[in-house]
Amino acid sequence: MDVLVVEDDDAIAAPLTKGLEREGFHVTRTANGRDALAAPPADVVLLDLGLPDMDGYEVCRRLRQRSGVPVIILTARSEEIDRVVGLELGADDYVVKPFGFRELVARIRAVTRRGGLTTTARDETQRIGRLQIDRRTRRVSVDDQEVVLTPKEFDLIAMLASDVDAVILRTRILEEVWDPHWYGPTKTLDVHIAALRRKLGDPAWIETVRGVGFRLRALT
C-alpha cells in the first residue's frame, strides 16, 4: 500500500516514515503542498495542515477534486471547528498531534478498508429511482452523471441503499461504516450525510429521522 506523507516537520516525518515502512507500507514523503499535489497517486494521504507553502485544507480540497483517495489529517489544532472543516473538505479522518503510532496505523487500515458491507451483493448495480450504485466499481451516479464520492461517503450511501426506505440506525451506521470502537464525535456522521446530500444534488434523497437515524428515498 502506497502512503503519501505530507509533513514539513522532520522530527515527525522521519520516525513516521520509518515506522510505516516497518509495517510494510511504501512511503512517499513531501514537505510542502506543491510537491504533494505533484506526487504520484497513493492509496492513502497523511496530511499536515500547517505547511510552509500553502494551507493543508487547500491541499485536501485540490486532492479531492481529482480523486477519492482517503485523506487523514494530522493536526496540532484540536478545536472541533477545524475537525469539522477538515471533514467537510472531504478528509476521511484526523489525528491530533501528538498521536500514537498504533492509533494512526489503525486509522489508516480503517479508511482504506474496502467492501466491509455484507447486506447486499457486492457485484450488483442497484437502481434507486434516478440513483445508481455500482458496488463492484464503487461508482455512484444520478441521472447517469457520475457523483464523485470519498470512500466513507460511498460506504455510507451503500449501507443506506442496502435497505431503501427503511430507517438505518445511527449507531449501526457508526459501527459498520466507521469502526465498532468509534470514539470520535458522532457529528462526523452528520457532516458526511450533509456532504452526500450536497453531492447528490437534492437533500430529499436522505431523510433524517431525528435522534434515530437516516432513510434513503427513491427520488424519481
Q: At what angle do helices 151-161 and 187-200 cross, to 10 degrees?
A: 80
- Closer CB to Ca ion, 50 or 129, in the complex: 50
Euclidean distance between CA atoms 51 and 168, whole angstroms? 40
Q: In this structure, what are the phi and psi dihedrals at residue 109, rounded to the nearest 5 degrees?
A: -65, -35
Going residue by residue from 8 to 27, which x/- string records binding to Ca ion, judged by CB under 5 A? Answer: xx------------------
Q: Which stretch binds Ca ion (CB under 5 A): 45-53, 133-141, 163-171, 193-201?
A: 45-53
Please pick, from the candidates 48, 92, 93, 155, the single residue that binds Ca ion as defined by CB under 5 A. 48
Q: Amino acid identity of 55? A: D
Q: Which stretch binds Ca ion (CB under 5 A): 4-12, 21-29, 150-158, 183-191?
A: 4-12
Using an 8 Å Cβ cutoff, are 90 and 65 in contact? Answer: no
The residue number whose beta carbon is nearest to Ca ion equals 50
- Closer CB to Ca ion, 33 or 68, in the complex: 33
Contacts of 151 (CB under 8 A, 6+ apart): 68, 70, 92, 111, 112, 114, 138
Interaction of residue 82 with Ca ion, rule CB under 5 A: no
Residues 49-68 that bind Ca ion (CB under 5 A): 50
- Closer CB to Ca ion, 50 or 184, in the complex: 50
Euclidean distance between CA atoms 167 and 39, whole angstroms? 42
Binding site for Ca ion (CB under 5 A): 8-9, 48, 50
